[in-house]
Structure 1
């Protein structure tokens, strides 16, 4: 039987460590519990998936949102790089590259409906 070092014993007595361990164990139990254990067995409802046009519209909304958010992030980074460049040519080039990335992101966000229309044409939705 191995002995537990004194530092480890002192650490396990800490209220912060106990609280973190309790929260972690609770989260694992809640997330790990199967949903079927809480289901009503007498229920005979069938949950159907969305139709293809609804799925593609939802995909379009998410795609535009993610692209616009990333483009805005790159635009803000470009501004920060440019403002903190202080005449450093390498930093100014970094800012220009971030600005180009932001413009590409906004362009893709604008073109997302067109790209998804092509997908609709391919899959027949």
Structure 2
């Protein structure tokens, strides 16, 4: 059985923590971060659907219903990858709406 002990010395207990108002300094930086997150999340979900489709196709054993489900998962993965590729366009539209410099 492991026991974790956290020691708080007076130097670390009284450490001066600076106030962070925002991590991003400009609207463009915020929109760029949004683009990166959108692309990452959509690509990750698309990879999951691609994996599910591949596994379903391998496990189908010729069952037409399962093959159709696998094809649907492949189609969803393709749509996800397409949306991930369009994420920069969405951010450009948001930049135009917000009026970022």
TM-score interval, smaller chain: 0.7 to 0.9
Distance 1:82 1:93 in 2: 9
Q: Do residues 88 (structure 1) and 63 (structure 2) align?
A: yes
Runs of 4+ in 1 over 4 A off after TM superposition: none
Match of 2:20 among 27, 40, 47: 47
TM-score by length of 2: 0.78
Bigger helix share = 1
Query: Structure 1: how far apart are the matches of 2:78 and 2:46?
Result: 7
Count of residues paired in the alignment: 90
Q: Deviations over 1:17-52 (max 9, x none)?
A: xx9xx99xxxxxxxxxxxxx96748xxx55342221
Matches within 5 A, 1:24-39: none
Q: Name the CA distance, whole Å, in 2 between partners of 1:96 and 1:109.
A: 20
User: What does residue 83 of structure 2 align with?
Assistant: 108
Q: Which has the larger radius of gyration?
A: 1
Which has the higher relative contact order, 1 or 2, with Cα contacts under 8 A spaced 6 or more apart?
2
What does residue range 59-78 of structure 1 map to in structure 2 within 5 Å?
Answer: 59-78=34-53
Unaligned runs of 5+ in 1: 1-14, 24-36
